[in-house]
Structure 1
Amino acid sequence: MNLSASPPPDGCPGPGRRRTPGTLVAALWVPFATVVGVATSWQVQRIDSEWVDRQQAACRHLPFPTAEHVAAWTGPALGISAVIVCVLLARRFRRRHGVRLGGTGWGLVTYIGAWPAVLTIPLELFLLYATYSPVDSGPVLGDCG
C-alpha cells in the first residue's frame, strides 16, 4: 500500500498544496450569503409594511420604495450564489485535493451553509414575485375625510 499517494487526512493540503485565501473566502461566503439572503428577503415584508403605514398616515398614495426592489432581488441573488459557490468549491476540492467537500473543515462549513440556501431559495423567489405582482385592492387609506 502506497501511503504517499493517498489523500492527506482531514483534507489537509499535502506537500506543494496550499490553501489559498480565495478558498477560505469562498468557503465563508456560502454561510454568509445564505444568512444575508434570508435577512434581506425578510426586509421586503418590513419595507412594504412601513410603506403601507406611511401611505395611510399621509392619506395619499406614495411612490413605491426602491429599497423593496433592491431587497427583493438581493435575497435570491445571494441564495443562488451561495449554492453556485458551494458546487464550484466542491469541484475544486475534488480535483485539486482528491477529497470530498465534507471531508475538510472549511468544506464542511460550506456544505452545511449551502443546505439552508437551497431550502430558502423558493421563499426568496416567491417574495421577488410578490414584489412585482400587482395588488388588486392596494392599501386602504382609511378615513381621510
Structure 2
Amino acid sequence: MVAALWVPFATLAGVVTSWQVQGIDSDWVDRQQAACRHLPFPKAEYVAAWSGVVLGVSAVVVCVLLARRVRRECGGRLAGTKAGLVAHIGAWAGVLTIPLELFLLYATYSPVDSGPVLGDCG
C-alpha cells in the first residue's frame, strides 16, 4: 500500500524540512553580516516551516484514514499487517515530532528582538 509507506516518509520529510528552517536562518544572518546591511527575510524559510508542519500532520491524517479503511474492509486492526505496522509506527513518530515542527513554525514568525548583529561595518 502506497498510503502506508507515505506515513513514515511524510514524518521524516516533515522533520527534515522543518529543521532546514534553522539552516536558512543562519545563512541569512551570515549574508547580512557579510554585506553589512539588513537583507529581506528569505521566503524559503516560510516555505520550509509550513512544509514541515503540513507533512507531519498529513502523516497522522493518512494513518488515521488508512486505519479506518482497513477496519472497514478487513475488519482487522491496522497494526495487523506489515504495511499497517509501518504506518502505525510512522504516525506515532509523527505525533512526537509535530510539536518540534510547530515550534519552528512559531520561531519563523516570531520577531527577533535584537536582530542580527552586523558587526564592524565601518
Q: Does 1:75 align with 2:37?
A: no
Distance in 1 (alpha carbons) for counterparts of 2:92 and 2:33: 40
Instruction: In structure 2, give the amino acid aligned to 1:139.
Output: P
Q: Which amino acid aligns with 1:131?
A: T
1:57 to 25, 30, 34: 34
Aligned length: 122
Amino acid at match of 2:21: V
Higher relative contact order (CA closer than 8 Å, sequence separation 6+): 2
Residue of structure 1 in register with 2:23 after alignment: 46
Percent identity, aligned pairs only? Answer: 80
- Unaligned segments of structure 2, at least 5 residues: none
The residue type equivalent to 2:30 in the other structure is D
Q: CA deviation at 1:60?
A: 0.3
Q: Pick the structure with greater CA Rg.
A: 1
- What's the counterpart of residue 72 of structure 2? 95
Query: Matches of 1:115 and 1:136 in 2, distance apart?
Result: 35
Q: Partners in 2 of 1:80 and 1:97 — Cα distance?
A: 25
Q: Per the alignment, in what secondary structure is the counterpart of residue 38 of structure 2?
A: coil
1:114 paired to 2:85: no
Partner of 1:137: 114
Structure with the largest fraction of helix: 2
Aligned-pair distance for 1:126?
0.6
Instruction: Kindly report structure 1 stretches of 4+ aligned residues shifted beyond 6 Å.
Output: none
Q: Secondary structure at the match of 1:143?
A: coil
